[in-house]
Structure formats: C-alpha cells, structure tokens
Structure 1
Amino acid sequence: MENKDAILKESISYVEEILKDKLDNIVVERAVFGLFFSGVKLNNGYGGLCFTPIKEIPEAVCCPSSAKAMPLSGRLSNRSARKYLDDIFSGNILKRTLGIATLNALSSMCWDLMPEKDYEIKVGVDAFDELEIDPAKNSAVVGALVPMLKKLISANAPFKVFEMDSKTLKGEELNHFLTPDKAPEYLSSADLVVITGVTILNDTLEGLLADIKEGAEVLVTGPTAGMLPDAFFKRGVTMIGGVLVTKPDELLDIISEGGSGYHFFGKYAERIVVRKNRK
C-alpha cells in the first residue's frame, strides 16, 4: 500500500523544485469557498481551483461547529503559499481544499516557467472529447461524471460506474451502477478508466490506480486535478483534465456567488487537457 497522499506530496516536491526560492515570496492574496468550487488568487496573479466537498463537512450545521470546521475564517488573505500547502495534510477538509487550489495555482506558474515539458497541454479542450470509445472493450467510471456516462451510453459500450450515492445517477445510468467496494475487480479488466478528481481530495486515488491493469487509458479529471501531472503519469495515468484560471478575481467573484463551470468557462477560466506523450 502506498503512503497516504503520495501523489500530492510528490506534486508539491515538483513545484518546489521548479520554483525554488520564488516560492518564499508567494502569498495567497484572496481565497474563496463556493458552493461548487473553491479557489485562490496568488499575489503574482495566478489562480487555482478545487472542488468544494460539501458532503464531507458534517460539522457545518451550526455556528460553533462551523467555526471549528474552518478556524482560519477572516485570516485567509495574505497567508504564505507554503502554509496553504502544509494545510493539505492538516486533517481539515476545508483547509485541504484551499491547499489543493493553491497547488493548482502554483502549477500554472510552473508551466509558464518550464521551457520544455514531457507532455502536451491543450487549452480550451474538454478531456471527454479526447477519449475514443471502443464498444468492444470494457470501461469504468469513478464518480457521477454525467457527460462521460452519456458518451458511453450513446456508444452502446459496456461500462460500470462506481459512485457512493446512487441518487446522483438517473435512468439508464443506474443500470451500470456498482458500489465502490466492487471497483477493484472490475478496474483490473477495464481498458478505459475515467476517474473524478475528487478522489485526490478524499485520498482514494492511489488505491484506485493500483487496481488498474497496465496499458489501460486512464483519465483523471476535474478542477481538483489541475496540477503538475508527473506523479499521476508515474502511476499509470495517461491524461489529466483540469482547469486553467485566466482571470482569477472575476472567477472568484463568480464562485463566491454559487457559480459553476457554465458561468465561467471561456470567460475567466479554460478547460485544459494534459496528455502523456506516447513513446
């Protein structure tokens, strides 16, 4: 079994290696929790997003317990980026959320500083559109990724979807539903695996990747996944779908008002695809 949060720890190490002492001068200028997404803006103009884990905040039911859930409220601005990165491993899900958003913002900075990369980055592209569905091969989807489910159903392809809450699925989607405990057996036979980036947030991604057979096409996608891809590729991921923030202040305004991707894609942020180079 791999160490807890291995992908995140390695990703931070890659960021530190690229940014070096530049990291010491970077602070989070602004941080926002939204209904669907949470995000940060760095003092150098870069921004980053993460999924907001609403269902994983049972403490947030009254004022005293909510204060315990996010003890840094009112003190989120002008904290060092390093402290936000440390928060990823604090055990507090809300601190972790903003920490991952900070890691994603720093990753955007790294990409601009890297003269060469061992992978291809496409901007303004939906990761699902980059996948080829073979109706003769098994596919697996981890999370209620509705656009992907519709694509598989339309192609009449055999697949299973693993999701904690079956209520997030509808109609034909439910015919392919399996509980997450059934995932290991099915993942080992799937040729295409699509995984929600929320698995990074809840620390289940490494376990899932360990069950996937060698040579499978593996996509990890969502705003949480918008970070340097090296640690993912090392574990068999072939493609990442993330979000590149282009106008952080406007984006944070939108998500603070409960906005979703429909409100900001093409305006204040772009979908990106990071694909491992085929040798």
Structure 2
Amino acid sequence: MATNAILAETIATIEEIAGDELATLTIERVVMGLFFSGVKLSSGHAGACATPLKTIPEAVCCPSSAFAMPFPGKMRGRPAADLLKEAQHPNGLRRAVGIAAMNALASHCWGRRPHPDVVEEANIDAFDAANIRPGQLVVVVGAFAPFLRELRKRGQPFFVLEQDPETLKPEEMPFYRPAEEAPVIVPQADVLLVTGTTLINDTLEGILAAARPDCCKVVVGPTVGLVPDAFLRRGCSVLGGIRITEADEFLDVLAEGGSGYHFFGKSAHKIVLRTCRPGEMRGEAA
C-alpha cells in the first residue's frame, strides 16, 4: 500500500508540535468497537476512528485475526509514538487503531497549538457549517443518512458516491452513483461532503484533488482529528469531527457496540474546524 500523504503529513505535524513530550506519552486504553475504535492516552486525551469491518476479511477467521492484530492485551503502557506509526499500516484494523491514536494525540496538540487560520465551533454540524445555498450541486461521498435526508427535504440537487449501494434507502437510489465514478462526479460539485473513513481506504487524496478549486470541501466524521494542516493544504474549508470530553465513558460505549447516537451529547460532542473568514481572528465564532 502506498503511503497516505495526508496521514503522513498529519503525523509529521503532530511530532513537530508535541516535540520531546511525545516520548513521555503512553497508551492507557484501546477499544475496538463494532462501529468505532478508540484510544486513550496517559494524558487523558482520547481519539476515535471508524472500524472498517466490512473491508477486512480477517475479521471472520480467528487465526487470521490473530495475525492481523498481534498486540491484544499488550497495548496498555506502550509508547503512543509506536501506536501512531500504525496509522499507515496496510491492515485496516491496525490502521484504524493507529488513526485513533493519532487523533488522541491531535487533541493533545490542539491544546498546545491551535491552528492560527482555523476557528473551532462546538455543537455544530459540518453540514450546517458548509452553508449550502439553493441550487448548488452537492456531492456526498459516503451514505450519511442525515445529510441525504436533509438534502432531499430541501430539494437540493445532489449525488451520493457509495461503495455499497445496499446502505442506501430506496428513495435515495436515484441520487446514487458508484464510487468508481468519482473522477467524473466530483468535479461537478459546488459542495463536497466526504466521510473521514476515506482516510482508511486511501481514497481521500484523489477525491479532494478531483474537486474544483472553488468547491467547498468538507471532511466529516469521528475519524477526522484536530490537526487540520494537511486538509487545509488540499483546500478543505470545513472539518467536522468530535471532541471527547469523558474518555472512559466514551470508550465504554464503543466497547458495547455504541455509535454516534450513543455518545454525542454525553461523552463527546460534535465540533467544526473551519477556516477563518476575512477579518476574523482565531477563536471568534460568527
């Protein structure tokens, strides 16, 4: 598997911001849930990543799974820097845990150095932050049910690119386009809403590159962390992620098969990182 440039750049930024402190941070807890995986650091910060079960044949075979995840029972106390390297592992399960560790470290780094060109807004949905105007063509990458429902309600023109059409409802199928058509569909977008899980399957780079320069690019989901530098370089103006406020409670929910419906507003809340508007200072939310 080729190096994922967005992940590589994010890791490098984390290493730069954390500096020597990175060597002192260890893993306190790791959970691989049905929908999301999560990591808690010795600093108390936590991060998450979607668990890519559908794309992992090893998940159905115990011997293969043992090979895929060689560290169960041995992660507590390991250097966080070691798990950070897993974010670029070719195996999906290991990559998910690595990205969760990366996002936990990103949360730690945001406290040390918020990005000067970005505003953080709490309890706002990335869909709303995109400020979609009537008539704009929206391309959704991934079956975001709430997004699709709102777009249909508005009568907004849109397409949804999805690898698995079975995740869509019958009324959503007229808007469906196979993921393979991304090179044709994405350049048409006025607004591009992309699932953060594209970081796991290495498709995000190509999707963002295919969008027009004037397109509003939005990447959203718990897989998106709080170090926006690599996304900004690729023209993203809105990142929708989460801030985990109660790490252990959050991981308990993941361990019991929970999803966003179970942790939002309780152990975590939605946040948006967006580029500053002209004349706006970081930390000022309109």
What TM-score, normalized by structure 1, do the two folds share?
0.96
Shift of 1:117: 2.3
Distance in 2 between residues matched to 1:243 and 1:178, nearest whole Å: 28
Asked whether 1:261 is paired with 2:260, we answer yes
Distance in 2 between residues matched to 1:244 and 1:173, nearest whole Å: 30
- SS of equivalent residue, structure 2 residue 72: coil
2:248 aligns with: 249
Q: Percent identity?
A: 48
Shift of 1:8: 0.7
2:281 aligns with: none
Distance in 1 between residues matched to 2:52 and 2:244, nearest whole Å: 20
CA-to-partner distance for each residue in 1:153-180, whole Å, 9 max, x for gaps? 1111111100011110003211100001
1:35 aligns with: 34
Instruction: Confirm or deny: 8 A CA contact 1:50 1:224 kept in the other structure.
Output: yes
1:143 aligns with: 142
Shift of 1:115: 6.2
Aligned residues: 277
1:57 aligns with: 56
Shift of 1:181: 1.5
CA-to-partner distance for each residue in 1:243-268, whole Å, 9 max, x for gaps? 11111111111110001111111111
Instruction: Confirm or deny: 8 A CA contact 1:85 1:102 kept in the other structure.
Output: yes
1:12 aligns with: 11
Q: Which amino acid aligns with 1:63?
A: C
2:214 aligns with: 215
Instruction: Confirm or deny: 8 A CA contact 1:220 1:237 kept in the other structure.
Output: yes
Q: Which amino acid aligns with 1:250?
A: E
1:66 aligns with: 65
Q: Which amino acid aligns with 2:203?
A: T
The two structures, once aligned, show a CA RMSD in angstroms of 1.3
1:1-279 to 2 correspondence within 5 Å? 4-114=3-113, 117-279=116-278
Shift of 1:20: 0.4
- SS of equivalent residue, structure 1 residue 88: helix
Distance 1:224 1:116, change over 3 A: closer
Between stretches 32-41 and 127-136, larger displacement belongs to 127-136
Distance in 1 between residues matched to 2:180 and 2:59, nearest whole Å: 28
Instruction: Confirm or deny: 8 A CA contact 1:41 1:47 kept in the other structure.
Output: yes
Between stretches 238-247 and 87-96, larger displacement belongs to 87-96
Instruction: Confirm or deny: 8 A CA contact 2:7 2:88 kept in the other structure.
Output: no
Distance in 1 between residues matched to 2:114 and 2:210, nearest whole Å: 35
Distance in 2 between residues matched to 1:258 and 1:237, nearest whole Å: 31
Distance in 2 between residues matched to 1:46 and 1:166, nearest whole Å: 36
Instruction: Confirm or deny: 8 A CA contact 1:133 1:155 kept in the other structure.
Output: no
- SS of equivalent residue, structure 2 residue 59: coil
Distance in 2 between residues matched to 1:75 and 1:234, nearest whole Å: 37
- SS of equivalent residue, structure 1 residue 60: helix
Instruction: Confirm or deny: 8 A CA contact 1:37 1:52 kept in the other structure.
Output: yes
Shift of 1:131: 2.7
Instruction: Confirm or deny: 8 A CA contact 2:53 2:59 kept in the other structure.
Output: no
Distance in 1 between residues matched to 2:247 and 2:194, nearest whole Å: 26
CA-to-partner distance for each residue in 1:34-82, whole Å, 9 max, x for gaps? 0111001100110001001110110122321221121111112111111
Distance in 2 between residues matched to 1:188 and 1:230, nearest whole Å: 23
- SS of equivalent residue, structure 1 residue 238: strand
Shift of 1:116: 6.1
Distance in 2 between residues matched to 1:122 and 1:133, nearest whole Å: 18
Distance in 2 between residues matched to 1:173 and 1:228, nearest whole Å: 33
Distance in 2 between residues matched to 1:204 and 1:219, nearest whole Å: 15
Distance in 2 between residues matched to 1:105 and 1:9, nearest whole Å: 16
What TM-score, normalized by structure 2, do the two folds share?
0.93
- SS of equivalent residue, structure 1 residue 266: coil
Q: Which amino acid aligns with 2:28?
A: E
CA-to-partner distance for each residue in 1:198-256, whole Å, 9 max, x for gaps? 00111110000110001111110001112311110110111000111111111111110
- SS of equivalent residue, structure 2 residue 57: coil
